[in-house]
Chain A
Amino acid sequence: MTDTRRDSDLRLVLGLGALALASVALGPYILPTFLINSLLRAILYAAVALTVDVLWGYTGILTFGQSAFFGIGAYAVGLVFTHMGFSASHALLALVLSLVVSASTALLVGWLSFYPGASPLYASVVTLALPIVVTQILFSAGTFTGSSSGLSGFESFDISIEIWFWISGTFLVLLTGVAWLFVRSDAGRMLVAIRENEARCEYLGISVSRLKILLLMAAALVAALSGYLFASMQMVVAPEYAGFVFGTELVIWVALGGRGSLVGPVLGTLFIDVGSAYLSGNLPYVWKLLVGVAFVVVIVAFPGGLLPLPMALLRRLRGIPPPARGRGPMLELAEPRALPGLRGDSASALVLEGVCKNFGSLRVLDGISFRAGRGELLSVVGPNGAGKTTLMRCISDGAERSRGRVLINGFDTGRLPPERCVAFGIGRKFQTANTFDSLTVAQSLRIARSRLERPWLLHCSRTLALPDAALQVIRATGLDEHLDMAVRHLSHGQKQALELAMVLALEPNVLLLDEPTAGLTKAERTLIGRILRDLTEHHGLCILLVEHDLDFVREVSSRVIVLHQGQILLDATVAEVVESELVRSIYAGVGSHGESPS
């Protein structure tokens, strides 16, 4: 994004925010009382819808459970005020209770939904069950919770409806503003990265499960706070407010408004809920039917929701072209970091001892043992299906191994997940380009740096500091001219180069590269080869390289391992392997003398 566009964006948001705050301030003087009353409820619902949008629209977690947190906030007020009476200290107690209970519930739900290996469906199923569980608890607690009729008639804050309107309106405007700044910030891009490619995030050392749990907890706190305000204001709570019907309605409002736009879901909720207040009296059942039909139509015809339509119209009327691509941030050279020290007396950066991998009865890797030192570039060659990629996976993810040990810089990786292995200094490039399609080149690189440089929470940095090797790859492949281009528009080879640069941005000292030059031209390959040699010779990296191009292997390697049917067939110098009759017969083909592409 260019500076001018960023500034004009910020001005727009500040302007809209001021306008919204002014409307909130003037509202009670202009609007009829019935509308104010309906708006009060809709505003707090909209705050909850906003959390659904951040979870679903940006991070891809389809949640039906935000109503439960709203209910927890509301019932904290209802229970404390009913059973203990209203006072300032009790109001504080209710607030603390609503926040603590909702956050700890979210922690539990998050842990159940996002443990390593959970599929995205788990979160939806668990969050669908949550409101049902909460309402069942409320039903079964008898007079304590008021069962199905809820609690009402308790004393609460003695505040006029106008002041409630100002409080809740300001709450919603500020919340929307903060959420807007957050999702556009460097840290907010991580939500999209998680939605697009969790595996890549993990291999960049980002703890996806922890981030998702934290996000769910933050969303739960906002929903609980909305519930707290709601019950304090309406002086009534009922199980429906925690129910899954409400939870599903939130999803519908977000989809109708336009998910992934923040403003869309807020406006969608306000319109539909206020509309319901007016129309459900006249058209009690038809109204719900209309909303349902609208939902289906929007999902089919306008998957982006309704907000983008008036925006496009506005743009056309004002003759503004669609946002142009900017230059992206300025590239900078990052200060090199000292490599983490070797642990113990281990002289090897990478040690494998008897690594095995079984798929059912099939043994794909069979007792692989070798050591690789710093400054060594070890190539792994072998026929297709020999187990090369499986070997890479078993080194970088502890849970993948069936047997055996892997030590990285002297640290035993045990059964640790990839994001923890990254902390020992390992970086892995996948065989097929593994990137974030809807992020830009610069955003992807920044996410790769996030383990080393904490990204900004509420704004975007104008510079991007990368280590020398990553900069070289980017400049050599011309990616520096496309920093602001969405990754999905890059060619296959450019994606490969970007992923390599992302892994190098991690500043690993044990580098696993699975066919890093596939899809690159001979010239680009030569350049990558030079960069890899430089990394081993001058920066002491240990590189494990899977490659079919024997010329390339000969140019860059210090040693070669030949893998065949899951076993090490040969562990020797480059010359020995290239001259080997055995290698020629199983791998390189007749007449080929390691002759290769090009």
Chain B
Amino acid sequence: MTPALELQGISSGYGEALVLREVDLTLAPGEVLAVLGKNGMGKSTLLKTVMGFLPLAAGQVRLFGESIGGHPPHVVARAAVAYTPQEQALFQDLSVEDNLRLGLRRDRQLRVGIERAGEIFPFLPQRLAQRAGTLSGGEQKMLLVARALLCQPRLMLIDEITEGLQPSVIERLSVALRAECERTGVSILLIEQNVGFARGLAQRYAVMKRGELVDQGAMHGEDTAARIAAHLNV
């Protein structure tokens, strides 16, 4: 089966400073892979590079078998890739509804989409007219996930989505994303500090250290917990 995402020896960074060094990684369709690691190790840089926000210094990025290295972000997004970055990802001055609408190709799907989003985040359908910038920090995160799900992605790149969410919402989100994977076969590349959430969702993990992948394996292997703990110095 063609992998959803295949990275071969990719390096990238900001200006002349390389942050990622020769990263190899494969993600099967319907699979969830959690990238773990300490701060400043290049996890977010990995997602930005796949998405085309940072130029590739070396290596190949293949999306469903097709090479997309060097394409700008909007082209990558059109290949049904949804990216939820860590910062500044909503249109603060637009309403909740308009923010959701921008995740859609066709306006007809909006009503159904809002209903589905409401099942995961009950506050959303009641607050459609509110300006997104006036939502609380956690609510903004939820809107971000809702918009990403709305565009029916084949691949989701999710950067620390649980940050600032209350525990019960994190639980609900985990269930919803798992259901989405089973229903649509979407693959997810997940970056998380919340190891509990990552364990609940991902089948595999990878650990990043100073721009390199230093360990990969099955999430529910025998010694996984100990290995992850050792990497993160817990």
Contacts and interface: CB of A to CB of B under 8 A. Distances in A.
Contacts of B167: 548, 550, 587-589, 592, 594-596
Contacts of A548: 138, 164-167
Contacts of B40: 478, 490-491, 493-494
Given A385-B138, A432-B87, A523-B234, A477 B39 contact: yes
B169 A598 contact: no
A589 B135 contact: no
Interface string A477-500: 110000000000111111001000
B38 A524 contact: yes
A453 B195 CA distance: 41
A597 B136 contact: no
Contact of A492 (B14, B44, B234): B44
B193 A519 contact: yes
B112 interface: no
B138 A597 contact: no
Contacts of A478: 39-40
B195 A384 contact: no
Contacts of B86: 492, 519
Contacts of B11: none
Contacts of B168: 383, 586-590, 592
Interface in B36-82: 38-41, 43-44
A431 interface: yes
Interface in A379-412: 382-390
Interface in A183-219: none
A598 to B, nearest CB: 5
B18 interface: no
A492 B87 contact: yes
A371 interface: no
B196 interface: yes
A590 B174 CA distance: 13
A590 B175 CA distance: 13
B195 A359 contact: no
Interface in B120-173: 123, 134-139, 141-142, 160, 162-172
A433 B171 CA distance: 25
Interface in B175-210: 193-197
A322 B164 CA distance: 40
Contact of B197 (A390, A493, A597): A597
Interface string A513-525: 0010011111110
Interface in A574-595: 586-590, 592, 594-595
Interface in A450-492: 477-478, 489-492
Nearest to B172: A589
B85 to A, nearest CB: 9
A494 B87 CA distance: 14
Interface size for chain A: under 10, 10 to 19, 20 to 34, or 35 or more residues? Answer: 35 or more
Nearest to A384: B138
A477 B38 CA distance: 10
Contacts of A519: 39, 86, 160, 163, 193
Contacts of A382: 166
Interface string B7-22: 0000000101100000
Nearest to A477: B39
Nearest to B159: A492
Given A492-B44, A519-B160, A598-B196, A384 B234 contact: no
Contacts of B160: 492, 519
A523 B233 contact: yes
A432 B233 CA distance: 25
A521 B228 CA distance: 12
Nearest to A524: B39
A312 to B, nearest CB: 14
Interface string A239-280: 000000000000000000000000000000000000000000
A91 to B, nearest CB: 54
B234 A522 contact: yes
A244 B138 CA distance: 48
B39 to A, nearest CB: 3
A586 B45 CA distance: 36
Given A432-B137, A519-B193, A598-B194, 8 more contacts: A386-B136, A515-B163, A587-B168, A589-B167, A592-B171, A594-B167, A596-B196, A598-B196
24 contacts: A383-B168, A389-B136, A390-B136, A432-B137, A489-B17, A491-B41, A518-B163, A519-B39, A520-B39, A522-B234, A523-B233, A548-B166, A548-B167, A587-B166, A587-B168, A589-B170, A590-B168, A590-B171, A592-B171, A595-B196, A596-B167, A596-B196, A597-B162, A597-B197
Q: Which 6 A-B pairs have the closest CB atoms?
A: A384-B138, A589-B168, A493-B39, A597-B194, A491-B40, A385-B136
Interface of A: 322, 359, 382-390, 431-433, 477-478, 489-494, 497, 515, 518-524, 548, 550, 586-590, 592, 594-598
